[in-house]
A and B are shown apart, each in its own frame.
Chain A
Amino acid sequence: MSLGNRGYSLSRRRFLTSTAVGGLAVASGAIGMPYVARAATPVKVGIIHPVTGGVSYSGTQGRAGAMMAVDDINAAGGIKSLGGAKIDALLTDAQSKADVAASEIEKYNDAGVSAVVGGYASFICLATTQAAAKHGIPYVVDVGTDDRIVKAGLKNTFRFSPGYGVFVDTAVPTLDQINSAAGKPVKTAIIVHEDKAFGTGTAKLLQEKLPGIGVKVLDVIAHPTPNLDFNNIVLRIKAAKPDIVIPADYYNEYVLLARTMLQQKVRPKAIYSVLGGAASQYKFVHDFPEAAAYIMDCNHWYNPHKEAAQTLRKKTQAKGLYYTYEVFLNYEAVMLLADALERAASTDRAKIIDALASSEWSGHFMPYGPTKFVNGQNTGARAVNLQVQNNDIKVILPPEFANAKPIFPMPA
């Protein structure tokens, strides 16, 4: 079985030695070494992302965001309640495969990590949170929007950002709002979604709720990731002539869909995505401005009025990376963990889980309310509405975070 990873590698030797060191540390603790000597030990945190495979772009972005947080924390003096202990990030590659990711969690357990952050894709997180739960390892989900992740009753799992339920519950009323404000031009829709956990779940919820705002769902089209050819799908859209197209995809497929629609001259009144993989991506807007123009999205976003968010944006762009949601969500996930570590003042897994469960962390830059975990889900998390305007991504709703007004329907 492939157990590979890249970058800061997690080699066998390192695992075996770290296990030995871990054992020694425990032993020395039992004998009662002085607090100071023990506190110098870095806190081991597993950081796992699919940096290769079908969703590797997102995984790579996620890893970058997480590492920036680790670097910031360490530069600011580490975890103070643990005597300035630095965070020791153990990076692994989930290879866009659930079983590989689960194996990496086993390795993390052997290495004695205190917590794990990451996963990115829902189908990966479903496997990794379970594997971590078997060993009682606290797990902070970075993105993974499938709501089953936080409904599995796993005490160790915490998700700071919203699940697709929240996105649908935001997207549908706001669509209604935008639609009504323009005189209700939109009456029919087609949903295009990736066929794994996130896409299927999102599509199902949308199908249930759209009729309630007077939008009829003409068709729901699933496709695998990766998918090379969108011609047939676009043909079907062309024939059905929906008022809006609602994609729920990962980056590559979303781009291909948008471009194929442009190519085949399919122009609905709006493209309104829910968790659109490319819709709120600067890379997409930069690479294909014509295809991206006026696309609307209900997605993760930072609070544009918070300075910390803008600082991170500059830092990210300075590294030559686009400032995507994977970056800032992972950054915040690690920060959340750091806050919990401070309050737990311990590297003990159970204590960290308790600290996360009782978290009220407000030092974030997301457009969220106060942090509060209920069954692993942060109930303060919120979604916002975005639109690509003038080759930039603007927040159009809710008003308290908005920096532009919706342009709806799309100009012809």
Chain B
Amino acid sequence: MKSAVAIVVLLLVLIPVPWLVRSGFWLNFAVLSLYYGFLGQSWNILGGYGGQYSFGHAAFFGTGAYAGAVLQLRFGVNPWLALVLAGVAGGVVGAVVGGLSFRYGLRGSYFALITLAFAEVLRILADSLGFTGAGVGLQIPLHPAATNFQFAGKPGFYFTMLVLTALGFASVWYIEHSRFGARLMAVRDSEDAAHALGINVYRVKLAAIILSGVLMALGGVFYLQYFLYIDSDIAYGPAVSIAALLAPIVGGLGTMFGPLLGAVALQLLNEISESAIGSAPGLNLVLYGAVLVLIIAFLPEGIAGLMRLRLGPWRRRAA
């Protein structure tokens, strides 16, 4: 139950942030940290706990974003309802991608490659089809209202993201404390051994990718409502896929707080490098790439792994 307490404490600490932080800039920082942490958490479920590294998570993100946009613009669906439906859409895409890939036994690098291909196929489709706005993209008209999932100020978005973050934690908590999760991690540790134990490897992986897809799609809708504009590059491009995997790897794969830690660390890194080096396009991403390589080389457990040595059971990589 220790991790449940940790989650609650963390959420309680995060709630008063909009009242404590007055600067628009830092509040935006907080929102984006939670956002990237959430995307990372979704990837973490499949990658960190499931051991399946996807390089095309944008496929789910973009589907969520486009679903949200199309439902609002063409069918007049309320954005909150669209959020739920978009999550379903993400799950469906997860089922298709996972269903095909896992059914045909794709693992490791092959799985990474095929997820990349799926994301690219979706990107091209979105770029060509009329109902996704083709090259022009889709824009949500500005009508700030809480019922419209558009907030006049940042706090509204912050709290929405906080709820999504809680959802992410709940999902991971479930994985760490359920039989499903135990099976998933067994598959991660050794697929063949898991199979020998009688675990239906295919079903376990499929469930994980569907869950991951649902969450990632929710993140996509959040992006849509925050920025009010998407196109095929934003929705299905590699930037999102990379962002989703970077945070958990940096923060700690297969740990509950890893993705959020990683997201905050990367955002801070971004800000520090901009202040120190000055803003030039690309430099902060050079830093990200370098950090990724360094973490893989020297800190395979990520930041959480470092902290584990100090804080013991609080940051334990489950099972």
User: What is the interface of chain A, defined by CB distance below 8 A to chain B?
Assistant: 1-6, 9-13, 15-16, 19, 52, 93, 95, 97-99, 102, 106-107, 109-110, 123, 126-127, 130-131, 133-134, 148, 152, 154, 194-197, 199-201, 222, 224
Please, which residues of chain A bring their CB within 8 A of the CB of B243?
Answer: 1
Please, which residues of chain A bring their CB within 8 A of the CB of B271?
Answer: 12
Please, which residues of chain A bring their CB within 8 A of the CB of B141?
Answer: 152
Smallest CB–CB gap between A27 and chain B, Å? Answer: 14
Is the pair B142, A2 in contact by a Cβ cutoff of 8 Å? no
Per the bound structure, the CA–CA distance linking A196 and B134 in Å amounts to 8
Smallest CB–CB gap between A157 and chain B, Å? Answer: 11
Smallest CB–CB gap between B62 and chain A, Å? Answer: 13
Task: Tell me which of B6-14, B79-87, B282-290 binds A.
Answer: B282-290
Per the bound structure, the CA–CA distance linking A34 and B279 in Å amounts to 37
Is the pair A9, B279 in contact by a Cβ cutoff of 8 Å? yes
Is the pair B134, A4 in contact by a Cβ cutoff of 8 Å? no
Given that A106-B24, A200-B134 are known contacts, is A126 also in contact with B139, CB under 8 Å in the complex?
yes
Is the pair A4, B283 in contact by a Cβ cutoff of 8 Å? yes
Q: Does B127 contact A (CB under 8 A)?
A: yes
Smallest CB–CB gap between B22 and chain A, Å? Answer: 10
Please, which residues of chain A bring their CB within 8 A of the CB of B282?
Answer: 2, 4
Per the bound structure, the CA–CA distance linking A9 and B283 in Å amounts to 14
Is the pair B229, A95 in contact by a Cβ cutoff of 8 Å? no
Is the pair A224, B127 in contact by a Cβ cutoff of 8 Å? yes
Given that A126-B229, A133-B142 are known contacts, is A110 also in contact with B285, CB under 8 Å in the complex?
no
Specify which of B127, B134, B136, B281 is in contact with A5 (CB 8 Å cutoff). B281
Smallest CB–CB gap between A57 and chain B, Å? Answer: 16
Is the pair A127, B275 in contact by a Cβ cutoff of 8 Å? no
A-facing mask of B13-33, CB < 8 A → 1, else 0? Answer: 000000000011100100010
Please, which residues of chain B bring their CB within 8 A of the CB of A224?
Answer: 127, 135
Specify which of B127, B144, B281 is in contact with A93 (CB 8 Å cutoff). B281
Q: Does B72 contact A (CB under 8 A)?
A: no
Is the pair B231, A123 in contact by a Cβ cutoff of 8 Å? yes
Is the pair A127, B280 in contact by a Cβ cutoff of 8 Å? no
Please, which residues of chain A bring their CB within 8 A of the CB of B32?
Answer: 1
Please, which residues of chain A bring their CB within 8 A of the CB of B234?
Answer: 97-99
Please, which residues of chain A bring their CB within 8 A of the CB of B127?
Answer: 195, 224
Identify whether the interface residues of A are mostly helix, strand, loop, or mixed: helix
Given that A9-B279, A10-B279, A194-B135 are known contacts, is A4 also in contact with B284, CB under 8 Å in the complex?
yes
Q: Which residue of A lies closest to B281 (CB)?
A: A4
Q: In which size bucket is the chain B interface?
A: 20 to 34
Per the bound structure, the CA–CA distance linking A222 and B135 in Å amounts to 9
Q: Does B73 contact A (CB under 8 A)?
A: no
Per the bound structure, the CA–CA distance linking A1 and B32 in Å amounts to 9
10 interchain residue pairs of minimum CB distance? A195-B135, A4-B281, A12-B275, A196-B135, A127-B229, A4-B279, A5-B279, A197-B136, A110-B24, A110-B25
Is the pair B275, A102 in contact by a Cβ cutoff of 8 Å? no
Please, which residues of chain B bring their CB within 8 A of the CB of A130?
Answer: 139, 142, 228-229
Please, which residues of chain A bring their CB within 8 A of the CB of B231?
Answer: 98, 123, 196
Which has the most chain A C-beta neighbours within 10 Å: B144, B229, B282?
A: B229
Is the pair B278, A200 in contact by a Cβ cutoff of 8 Å? no
Smallest CB–CB gap between B245 and chain A, Å? Answer: 15
Which has the most chain A C-beta neighbours within 10 Å: B32, B270, B278?
A: B278
Given that A11-B274, A196-B135 are known contacts, is A99 also in contact with B229, CB under 8 Å in the complex?
yes
Specify which of A16, A99, A133 is in contact with B227 (CB 8 Å cutoff). A99
Q: Does B137 contact A (CB under 8 A)?
A: yes
Smallest CB–CB gap between B274 and chain A, Å? Answer: 5
Is the pair B135, A6 in contact by a Cβ cutoff of 8 Å? no
Per the bound structure, the CA–CA distance linking A11 and B136 in Å amounts to 31
Could you list some 30 contacts between A and B, CB below 8 A? A2-B281, A2-B282, A3-B274, A3-B284, A4-B279, A4-B281, A4-B282, A5-B279, A5-B281, A6-B279, A6-B281, A19-B23, A19-B25, A98-B137, A98-B229, A106-B28, A107-B25, A110-B23, A110-B24, A110-B25, A127-B227, A127-B228, A130-B139, A130-B228, A130-B229, A134-B152, A152-B142, A195-B134, A199-B135, A200-B135
Given that A194-B135, A197-B136 are known contacts, is A154 also in contact with B142, CB under 8 Å in the complex?
yes
Is the pair A123, B136 in contact by a Cβ cutoff of 8 Å? yes
Smallest CB–CB gap between B239 and chain A, Å? Answer: 8
Given that A98-B229, A195-B136, A197-B136 are known contacts, is A52 also in contact with B281, CB under 8 Å in the complex?
yes
Is the pair A109, B24 in contact by a Cβ cutoff of 8 Å? yes
Is the pair B281, A134 in contact by a Cβ cutoff of 8 Å? no
Q: Which residue of B lies closest to A53 (CB)?
A: B281
Smallest CB–CB gap between A381 and chain B, Å? Answer: 23
Is the pair B281, A95 in contact by a Cβ cutoff of 8 Å? yes
Per the bound structure, the CA–CA distance linking A196 and B233 in Å amounts to 12
Considering only residues 223-260 of chain B, those with a C-beta below 8 Å from chain A are 227-229, 231, 233-234, 243
Smallest CB–CB gap between B271 and chain A, Å? Answer: 6
Q: Which residue of B lies closest to A126 (CB)?
A: B139
Smallest CB–CB gap between A243 and chain B, Å? Answer: 27
Per the bound structure, the CA–CA distance linking A130 and B271 in Å amounts to 25
Per the bound structure, the CA–CA distance linking A371 and B134 in Å amounts to 35
Q: Which residue of B lies closest to A200 (CB)?
A: B136
New A-B contacts (20) at CB < 8 Å, excluding given A97-B233, A98-B231: A2-B281, A2-B282, A2-B284, A4-B274, A5-B280, A10-B279, A12-B279, A97-B234, A99-B229, A102-B227, A109-B24, A123-B231, A126-B139, A127-B229, A154-B142, A194-B135, A195-B136, A196-B136, A201-B136, A224-B127
Is the pair B134, A123 in contact by a Cβ cutoff of 8 Å? no
Smallest CB–CB gap between B265 and chain A, Å? Answer: 15
Per the bound structure, the CA–CA distance linking A9 and B152 in Å amounts to 29
Q: Which residue of A lies closest to B283 (CB)?
A: A4
Smallest CB–CB gap between A93 and chain B, Å? Answer: 6
Given that A99-B229, A200-B135 are known contacts, is A9 also in contact with B278, CB under 8 Å in the complex?
yes
Smallest CB–CB gap between B261 and chain A, Å? Answer: 18
Considering only residues 113-169 of chain B, those with a C-beta below 8 Å from chain A are 127, 134-137, 139, 141-142, 144, 152
Q: Which residue of A lies closest to B32 (CB)?
A: A1
Is the pair A123, B23 in contact by a Cβ cutoff of 8 Å? no
Per the bound structure, the CA–CA distance linking A133 and B142 in Å amounts to 9
Per the bound structure, the CA–CA distance linking A12 and B152 in Å amounts to 24
Is the pair A134, B229 in contact by a Cβ cutoff of 8 Å? no
Please, which residues of chain B bring their CB within 8 A of the CB of A11?
Answer: 274-275, 278-279
Per the bound structure, the CA–CA distance linking A129 and B152 in Å amounts to 16
Please, which residues of chain B bring their CB within 8 A of the CB of A9?
Answer: 278-280
Is the pair B136, A134 in contact by a Cβ cutoff of 8 Å? no
Please, which residues of chain A bring their CB within 8 A of the CB of B283?
Answer: 4
Please, which residues of chain B bring their CB within 8 A of the CB of A148?
Answer: 139
A-facing mask of B280-315, CB < 8 A → 1, else 0? Answer: 111111000000000000000000000000000000
